[in-house]
Amino acid sequence: MAQLPGQIDPTVPSVARMYDYYLGGKDNFPADREAAEQVIELGRQTGSDIREVALANRGFLIRSVRHLAESGIRQFLDIGTGLPTQDNVHQVAQRVARDSRIVYVDNDPIVLAHARALLAENQETIIIQGDLAEPDAILTAAADHLDFSQPVAVVVAAVFHFFHDDAQVAEIVKTLRRPLVPGSHLVISHAYIEPGEGEEKKADQVRGVYQRSTSGGIAWRGREELLSLFDGLDILPPGVVPAQKWRNDDDTYHWPGLAKGGVLGAVGRVP
Ligand SMILES: C[S@@+](CC[C@H](N)C(=O)[O-])C[C@H]1O[C@@H](n2cnc3c(N)ncnc32)[C@H](O)[C@@H]1O
């Protein structure tokens, strides 16, 4: 990576850059790769493939955004955007409708720097620095670019597992849902593990790696916990499912590395 924004400490693994490494990207430093390799190895010891986890999550994100764009949604608020990769939210949505408006939000300055470069010529898409822990501030900033009197899809993919406090997650979702008019949608994906022998110990070790990263930790949540975040919304079929199974027509690949867990995904519609 060439230039670093001032507030970056490249010796602290960043969850954005670790995820970039899982996806095969090049926007990462030795500390990110080392931490990511530790997680990959811990996963391997339990039969899980972390790269498959990342790819399955990304596939869910792309299919859900495409589905919503094809259903007529023209505004997306994507919180915890991640480093640019193939098929980012604005590209998927604007391929369906060129005038789709997107607000990206991330708290990692490197994500901001890369996204700004990518988006320099895209008038419909902006990126703002913001923290999911402060959803009111995000909504206020997003309202300069999005019209909340019309449906908006709020996307929070692979971010809530960096919050260990269930009550805080519920409160953030409640705040994000408040301005959404009928026809709006909420898209969430979240890390989970199937309960099983030995999983807890490995999970503790993975948590240890993330505790040294920019997120300060990781927490897994199950189907019921995810479902509760959609309370009062109409959940689109097939419901809360492993990300790779959400409206995926490709049955040629069987995801052997996801038998012990991965990411759950779901999409809810404001009635
Ligand atoms: C695992 S990546 C997911 C990227 C993308 N959403 C996806 O699913 O492919 C998590 C992203 O969330 C960002 N992030 C983590 N905690 C955050 C927070 N509290 N507020 C905003 N962004 C956050 C990270 O910087 C990173 O870019």
Please report, for the domain that includes residue 122, its CATH number. Answer: 3.40.50.150
- Measured from the Cα of 80, ligand 1's closest atom is 12
Ligand 1 atom nearest to CA at 54: 9
pLDDT at 4 over 60: no
Mean pLDDT of 113-118: 91
pLDDT above 90 (res 126): yes
Structural domain includes residue 99: yes
> 40 alpha carbon to ligand 1 midpoint, in Å?
19
pLDDT in tens, 56-69: 999 999 999 999 99
Token match 């997120």: residue?
A: 215
Q: Is the CB of 138 under 6 A from ligand 1?
A: no
Task: For residue 83, give the ligand 1 atom closest to its CA.
Answer: 27
Ligand 1 atom having least distance to the Cα of 23: 9
For residue 159, the CA-to-ligand 1 centroid distance in Å is 5
The mean pLDDT of 206-219, rounded to a whole number, is 97
pLDDT in the model for residue 121: 86
Whether 97 has a pLDDT exceeding 70, the answer reads yes
pLDDT of 1 > 50? The answer is no
Is 14 part of any domain?
no
**Long-range interactions of 172-175: CB distance < 8 A, separation 24+:** 172/132, 172/133, 172/135, 173/229, 175/135, 175/136, 175/139
Among 111-120, 177-186, 205-214, 229-238, the least confident range: 111-120
Residue 193: inside a domain, yes or no?
yes
> What is the tally of structural domains in the chain?
1
Does the residue 95 lie in any domain? Answer: yes
Whether 55 is covered by a domain: the verdict is yes
From the CA of 162, give the closest atom in ligand 1: 16
pLDDT for 197: 67
* Ligand 1 mutation target, pool 32, 55, 107, most atoms within 8 A of CB: 107
- Whose alpha carbon is nearest atom 13 of ligand 1? 80
Atom of ligand 1 nearest to the CA of 19: 1
Residue 82 Cα to ligand 1 midpoint, Å, equals: 5
Confidence at residue 2, expressed as pLDDT on a 0 to 100 scale? 42
What's the CA-to-centroid distance between 14 and ligand 1, angstroms? 10
At 76, list the tokens: 């997306």
Contacting residues for 152 by C-beta, under 8 A, at least 6 apart: 73, 75, 76, 77, 146, 179, 180, 181, 184, 185
Residue 183 has pLDDT above 50, yes or no: yes
Residue 192 has pLDDT above 60, yes or no: yes
**Residue 70 counted as domain residue:** yes
What tens digit of pLDDT does each residue of 146-160 get? 999 999 999 999 999
Question: Does ligand 1 come within 6 angstroms of the Cβ of 108?
Answer: yes
Residue range 121-137: average pLDDT? 95
The answer to whether residue 90 is domain-embedded is yes
In this structure, the chain runs to a length of: 271
Give the structural domain span for 128: 42-269
Separation between Cα atoms, residue 102 and residue 89, nearest integer Å? 8
166 Cα to the center of ligand 1, angstroms: 18
CB atoms within 10 A of CB 5: 10
Arithmetic mean of pLDDT over the chain: 95
- Tell me, using a 6 A CB cutoff, whether residue 119 lines ligand 1: no
Ligand 1 center to 156 CA (angstroms): 8
Residue 136 covered by a domain: yes
